[in-house]
Amino acid sequence: MPRFKLVDGVSIQFTAEEEAARDAEEAAYAAGAFDRAIAGVRSKRNALIAATDYLALSDNTLSTQMTTYRQALRDITNGVTTVDQVNAITWPTKPE
């Protein structure tokens, strides 16, 4: 399907070079989909771990449930290699 651009309010069809450049841009964006998705997961994971860091100070003993929760957060990206897997991640529930 041909692509068009607006120049001074006039619809003009892309040249072959513009089509090739746009195809390359779209391919590069699609190739980065996993990297963008996993970066979001890592950001959320890091925030959740940071929210419980004060419990892991040397003068405090972590409960088994909290230790398990924090380890599950660290392991959440293990084996995740596709965008579909990223979208299917189930986040662990923080213990009380």
* Mean pLDDT score, 27-41: 95
Q: Across all residues in the chain, what is the average pLDDT?
A: 95
- Examine the pLDDT at 57 and tell me if it is beyond 90: no
Q: How much is the pLDDT for 58?
A: 81
Q: Report whether pLDDT(93) > 90.
A: yes
Per-residue pLDDT band for 61 (boundaries 50, 70, 90) equals confident
Tokens of 39: 């970066």
Mean pLDDT value of segment 64-85: 96
Tokens representing 45? 């994971």
